[in-house]
Amino acid sequence: MAQRTNLLPNKTSALVCCALMMITFLAGCTNSIIDSNVELDNRRWSYRNHIANSFEIKESSTPYNIYFKLRVTANYKYSNIFILAHFKDGNKVVTRRYQYKLAKNDGEWLGSGSGNVFSYTLPMLTNYRFAHNGKFTIEIEQNMRDNPLLEVSDAGILIENAE
């Protein structure tokens, strides 16, 4: 008589299989090309300290949203920030200046707060289509009068597929 085998996996195998399927599903759902934050030493952002991120575009026909990410402390003394964004495509560089409002006129911060730190995700380009597939770099530099700019804890870039 042939031995009968159990075709149903044990509970541990089922849980592992379910967890792997969830991880695969969640990893496939992410639509960001890059999501970075660079911590700034002693919350001081110098002109020379550019936040640079390189990435590859594989589908230039797809529209993307590009955001500037920023965290400041409640001791940041301005209600706005100016930055320069250098968009690099090989040897070609396009520089754009952005101004972002960080607080209302009464001093209330516009970002989402967590204790003494306020976070912002600020649009730079929306529904943007890259001219071609390939490698690109975006460098962000602070463009305020103060050097270093105090109470900026970190800055970064988020690039995601536009929906």
Please give the average pLDDT of every successive group of 10 residues along the chain, which has 163 residues. Answer: 48 45 45 93 97 95 97 97 96 96 95 93 97 96 97 97 90
For residue 148, is it within any domain? yes
CATH of the domain at 128: 2.60.120.260
Before 148, cis peptide (omega within 30)? yes
Q: What is the reported pLDDT for 114? A: 78
Q: What is the reported pLDDT for 93? A: 96
Q: What is the reported pLDDT for 163? A: 81
Q: What is the reported pLDDT for 22? A: 46
Q: What is the reported pLDDT for 90? A: 87
For residue 154, is it within any domain? yes
Q: What is the reported pLDDT for 121? A: 98
Expressed in angstroms, the distance from the first to the final Cα of the chain is 60
For residue 71, is it within any domain? yes
For residue 17, is it within any domain? no
Q: What is the reported pLDDT for 116? A: 93
Structural domain harbouring 137: 36-161
CA 83 to the chain's CA centroid: 15
8-27 burial, b if ≥16 CB within 10 A, otherwise e? eeeeeeeeeeeeeeeeeeee
7/15 Cα distance (integer angstroms): 16
147/156 Cα distance (integer angstroms): 19
For residue 56, is it within any domain? yes
* Residue 90 DSSP one-character state: T
Q: Are 31 and 160 in contact (CB under 8 A)?
A: yes
Q: What is the reported pLDDT for 30? A: 55
For residue 19, is it within any domain? no
Q: Model's pTM, two decimal places?
A: 0.80
Helix (H) / strand (E) element for 13: namely helix 11-29
Q: What is the reported pLDDT for 20? A: 42
For residue 3, is it within any domain? no
For residue 53, is it within any domain? yes
How many structural domains does the chain have? 1
